[in-house]
Structure 1
Amino acid sequence: MHHASIPAIGAAAAWREAARQFLAAGVPPDQIHWGGIGSAPHLFADLERPRGTGAVTVPRSFIAMAETVVWHRDPERFARLYGFLWRLRGAPHLMTDRGDADLARLRGMEKNVHRCQHKMKAFVRFREIGAPDAPRRSFAAWFEPTHHTVEPTAGFFARRFGDMDWRIVTPDITAVFANGAVSFQAGQARPDLPEDASEQLWITYFRNIFNPARLKVAAMQSEMPRKYWKNLPEAASIPELIAQAPARARAMAEAAPTLPPARMAQVQAQLAGCTSAWDGPQDGLPAAIDACTRCPLHRSATQAVKGEGPLDAALMIVGEQPGDHEDLQGRPFVGPAGQVFDQVAGQVGLRRDQAYVTNAVKHFKFQPRGKRRIHQRPDSGEISQCRWWLDAELAQVKPRLVLAMGATAAESLTGRRGALMSRRGRVEHAPNGQPVLITLHPSYLLRLRDPQEREQATALFDDDLRTAADLLATHRN
């Protein structure tokens, strides 16, 4: 049995060196008694460290974890680390095994130490102890950390308060920063620190920023545990602030203005412009679409392309946006994609003149390239703005089924983005419950250069239109 004493100061380096020697000598975990400085060795312990010659290779992720876990207050932390390190010798993949119980325990200890360090950075309160005429100001603080976090956290305070001398006194270790250098001493009893005149100013500020309307006591105590309150000057005000919170919140509500400030009129007007609930007269919808300036697409398009068809149609067909031909003629689906649709629809018994045909986006989005205008897919913002008009058309027509052709139409109607091929042929529902059958856009068929791929995609499009025809026929019967 071997004994390893790990000192309170420099514990990380001491454990790392001891573990390296034991691992190189092939000493198993059950043959080592780990203890802190001054701890009594095992009755049959060998106080002489073994000398190993084997090479020691340790995953970097374990080193980083161990550098934190050694500061945990668990007296078995050194043994737990070495036990897991022993297992890592031939299985470095264990560092990524989330189901490993030993690793889970060490990760939990690591998290607790990090949390303790965070609390130390937040709740240490310095008070000035130096003479007024000293060349460097000097401060001291008393803190009671949950774990041994003074040494690994001292660097933060050295960087943060490098222009003054300070000491952080705890029951275990005292960190001293003097003339730009950090040193550590044994822990001390709580010192008698002088009052700080600036604390009253801080307490006044704390009381004034305390918002009673947003008080959540459990959440506050989770971030500021009660064990730290006795060393925080502002904590003396917390019970009173909690007790007064309901009355102060009611007073704040009663004192709130009953009328919005003048600037809110402009804000409310902007919000109204984004509400997708057009409520104009039925015969005024085409003119309203023609005059639309809700998004920048109207600036370069020739005109808005409105839907057309009977207003009592059982089927509404929704495409992506107008193309070049539609933009010039002002009618939906009159270009090559419309011709493909008419051909396939005729084969399955869908009559276009009995359906209401429209687009999710009413203006043509394109990129000029010489004399040609190259189609550009609308973005989510443009789709959202044009949803105003699509909602109005749906409210007027009230179709039994909507055929969404292409990803843009599917997103506009269902609010969902996703791979179109995995959704086509299926009936989804709009937020208001409207049935939506999703299929390919006929322009997709035109873009396919490979004859076999085009034939396969056309067959899928044909199947989807047949499904639409069958659903309408079933509903009629």
Structure 2
Amino acid sequence: MREVVLQAPGDFAEWRAAARGLLAGGVAPEDVSWRGGDEGASLFGIESAAAPVGAVALPRELLEIAERVICYRDAEVPARLYRIVWRALRDRQLLARTTDADVDWLRKADKAIRRDVHKMHAFVRFRRLGEAAGRESFAAWFEPTHRILRLTAPFFQRRFYGMDWAILTPDARAIWHDEALTYGPGGTKDEVPGSDIVEDQWRTYYGAIFNPARVKIDAMRAEMPKKYWRNLPEAQDIAPLLAGAEARVERMREAAVSLANPRSDKWRSRVQDQQTLTDEIETLAELGQALDRCTRCPLSCNATQAVAGEGPAAARIMLVGEQPGDREDLEGKPFVGPAGQVLNDVLNEAGLDRRRLFLTNAVKHFKFEPRGKRRLHQNPTTAEIDICRWWLDKERAFVQPELIVTLGASALRGVTGKSASIGSMRGQVHELAGGTKLIATIHPSFLLRLPDRERAANERAMFVADLARARELAA
């Protein structure tokens, strides 16, 4: 009988090294005893089972599953995995035999791990620790069902690259500091600070996206099991939100049809100004005055007014959105509607002061479809974006920002003159002609349209990370 002691339960590299040696030595599963390092056993005879690199070849799918399943919280996992890989060397079609007891266990364990990883991605909540050398630091406490920290830490590394953080679990901790990811021993909840401003922001965000008309308590509990509630700041609001859901639905019904601001009827009688525009514009103020007389495309006929950019003339960061919305069209200022409120919250969380940014849009007039007395947003066409690019280029020339953040695909085309998906551009820093840097991210209105709360939370976290990276680059 060969005895193998694993010092770090859930460590795939340690298990794989031991299993590879046993397989190369032809040691059958029934001749191996697997133990944890805390059981007081000693490694016996395993040295003689060492195998040269490449001596054992297993299906890639099996190795990928094993790397996840080794995290499954069950003392029998190392032995069961070894039995499966032993059999897979002799039966290359083993994983396809879904009725096999070992394969059935493996698939179910893998599903449980992937679900646990998904929950950790969605429900980790960071608390702010402070700031040093211009870099903020955060910490989070989480209690996963299984030992999945090493599986999930790279996700948070990508999403929160621009800040230092630590995630503590009962089994281990992951630390991202000075752009290096390290692991350490488990911790306790007392090591993470209590409530802070970030926690208040989570509560505000959850209350804003809570839709009382679509409450399904059983589905909510399935997606957000109660065992996670004690570590979620927004959980304390769930009971009162559910209690008031029926009353809120009734208020929504009463307010379903609202009268438009009288100024919104201006589009019905607006007459085109045929004044020809010239390049004789020398300041941003003159640009705004000329913009309101623009008739370069039909959008000027119906909008209440053009909406010029707003912010310091020497701003280091310029944020470019798609086009004004209904509120922006009425007030003549960018990002003052619902999407603007989301943007304000995200800017605060990313450590950016809106007053020091220059905010504008790729298209300067509100494009909409009349629906009774309401005006429904319509996406601008590429032709409309390209025509309006003259104005955006003028704003860029006056402001000369060091960094441009494009919010959405329309903004990306307005800045670059080319159509590209956000996914293909996001996560990288691009350089434009003249040396200006570019970061592409989502438009805040995208978050308002997401019905899936977990996805909305993940997308919002990525949005914050994008803006935090912009802050660092411009610092």
TM-score for the superposition, normalised by structure 1: 0.51
CA pair 75-53 structure 1, distance change in 2 beyond 3 A: closer
Most deviating of 22-31 and 7-16: 7-16
Amino acid at match of 1:118: H
**Alignment correspondent of 1:71:** 71
**Residues 144 and 171 in structure 1, CA contact (< 8 A), matched pair in contact too:** yes
Looking at structure 2, the residues matched to 257 and 266 of structure 1 have their Cα atoms a distance apart, in angstroms, of 9
Whether the 8 Å CA contact 1:129–1:194 is kept in 2: the answer is: no
Aligned residues of 1:9 and 1:151 also touching (Cα < 8 A): no
3-state DSSP of counterpart to 1:125? coil
Q: Secondary structure at the match of 1:74?
A: coil
**Alignment map for 1:201-350 (pairs within 5 Å):** 201-257=201-257, 263-264=370-371
Pick closer, same or farther for the CA change 1:192–1:168 going to 2, 3 Å.
closer
What is the CA–CA distance in structure 2 between the aligned matches of 1:53 and 1:75, rounded to whole Å?
Answer: 25
RCO (CA 8 Å, sep 6+): is it higher in 1 or 2?
2
Alignment RMSD = 2.8
CA distance in 2, matches of 1:140, 1:9: 24
SS of the aligned residue for 2:38 comes to: coil
Is 1:128–1:139's contact at 8 Å kept on the other side of the alignment?
Answer: yes
The structure whose Rg is larger is 1
1:188-241 Cα distance to aligned partner (Å, 9 max, x none): 121140432243233123212211110001111111111111111111000111
Counterparts of 2:48 and 2:65 in 1: how far apart (Å)? 25
**1:136: which partner in 2?**
135
Give the Cα–Cα distance (whole angstroms) in 2 for the partners of residues 266 and 169 of structure 1.
53
Partner of 1:46: 44
Q: Does the CA-based 8 Å contact 1:4-1:33 persist in structure 2? A: yes
Q: 1:28 to 1:243 in 2, by over 3 A?
A: same
Q: Aligned partners of 1:237 and 1:222: how far apart in 2?
A: 18
Aligned counterparts of 2:70 and 2:207: Cα–Cα separation in 1:
39
How far residue 83 of structure 1 moved from its aligned partner, in angstroms, is: 0.8
- SS across alignment from 1:238: helix
What is the alpha-carbon distance in structure 1 between the residues aligned to residue 259 and residue 105 of structure 2? 57
Query: Is the contact made by 1:4 and 1:34 (CA closer than 8 Å) also made in structure 2?
Result: yes
1:21-32 to structure 2, matched below 5 A, reads: 21-32=21-32
Q: Within the alignment, does 1:4 sit opposite 2:4 as a pair? A: yes
Q: How does 1:278-427 map to 2 (within 5 A)?
A: none
Maintained 8 Å contact 2:139/2:192 = no
Cα shift at 1:113: 0.9
SS of corresponding position for 2:197:
coil
Residue 206 of structure 1 aligns to a residue whose secondary structure is helix
Matched, 1:183 2:182: yes
Taking the aligned partners of 2:110 and 2:207, their CA distance within structure 1 comes to 35
Question: Which amino acid is the alignment partner of residue 18 of structure 2?
Answer: A
Q: Give, in angstroms, the shift of residue 98 of structure 1.
A: 1.8
| Residues 2 and 49 in structure 1, CA contact (< 8 A), matched pair in contact too | no
State whether structure 2 residue 36 is matched by structure 1 residue 36. Answer: yes
**SS at the partner of 1:57?**
coil
Match of 1:171 in 2: 170
Query: Secondary structure of the equivalent of 2:72?
Result: coil
Q: Supply the distance in 1 between the matched residues of 2:45 and 2:40 (Cα, whole angstroms).
A: 11
Counterpart CA distance in 2 for 1:66 and 1:223 is 26
Q: Hey, what's the Cα distance between the residues in 1 that align with 2:99 and 2:371?
A: 54
- Shift of the 46–199 alpha-carbon distance from structure 1 to 2, 3 Å rule, reads closer
- Partner of 1:13, secondary structure, is helix
Shift of 1:52: 5.8
CA distance in 2, matches of 1:10, 1:77: 9
CA contact (8 A) 2:136 2:163 kept: yes
Kindly indicate whether residue 83 of structure 2 is the aligned counterpart of residue 87 of structure 1. Answer: no
Structure 1 counterpart of 2:44, one-letter code:
D
- Over 3 Å counting, the alpha-carbon distance change for 1:33 and 1:253 in structure 2 is same
Rounded to whole Å, the distance in 1 between the matches of 2:188 and 2:250 is 45
Are the equivalent residues in 2 in contact too, given 1:127–1:194 (CA < 8 A)?
yes
Code of the aligned partner of 2:150: E
1:41 Cα deviation (Å)?
Answer: 3.0
Structure-2 separation of matches of 1:227 and 1:215: 20
5+ residue gaps, structure 1, are 268-477
Mapped contact 1:26–1:52 kept (Cα < 8 A): no
The answer (yes or no) to whether the contact 1:176–1:183 under 8 Å persists in 2 is: yes
CA drift at 1:78? 0.8
Report deviation, 1:39. Answer: 2.1
How big is the shift at 1:156?
1.2
The question of whether the paired residues in 1 share the 8 Å contact of 2:127 and 2:192 is answered with no
Moved over 4 A (4+): 262-267
The alignment of Structure 1 onto Structure 2 pairs a total of residues equal to 264
Whole-angstrom CA distance in 1 between matches of 2:152 and 2:80? 23
Unpaired runs of 5+ residues, structure 2, are: 261-368, 375-475
Per-residue CA deviations over 1:7-39 (Å, capped at 9, x if unaligned) read 337710011111111111111111111122222
Query: Using a 3 Å threshold, how does the CA distance of structure 1 residues 161 and 259 change in structure 2: closer, same or farther?
Result: closer
TM-score under structure 2 length normalisation: 0.52
> Does residue 58 of the first structure (1) align with residue 88 of the second (2)?
no
In structure 2, the partner of 1:146 is 145
> Structure 2 counterpart of 1:204, which letter?
T
Read off the aligned partner of 1:228 and give its amino acid letter: Y
Structure 2 CA distance, aligned partners of 1:229 and 1:198?
17
Distance in 2 separating the partners of 1:151 and 1:53 = 26
Closer/same/farther in 2, CA of residues 53 and 216 from structure 1, 3 Å limit: closer
The answer to whether the 8 A contact 2:128-2:198 is kept is: no
Residue 160 in structure 1 maps to residue 159 in structure 2: yes
Q: How far apart are the structure 2 equivalents of 1:246 and 1:205?
A: 20
Summarize the Cα distance change of 1:59–1:201 in structure 2 as closer, same or farther, 3 Å threshold.
closer
Change (3 A) 1:133 1:93: closer
Report the secondary structure of 1:50's partner residue.
Answer: helix
Q: C-alpha distance in 1, partners of 2:194/2:23?
A: 50
The separation in 1 between residues aligned to 2:137 and 2:30, in whole angstroms, is 48
Identity percentage of aligned residues: 44
**Aligned AA (1:50):** S
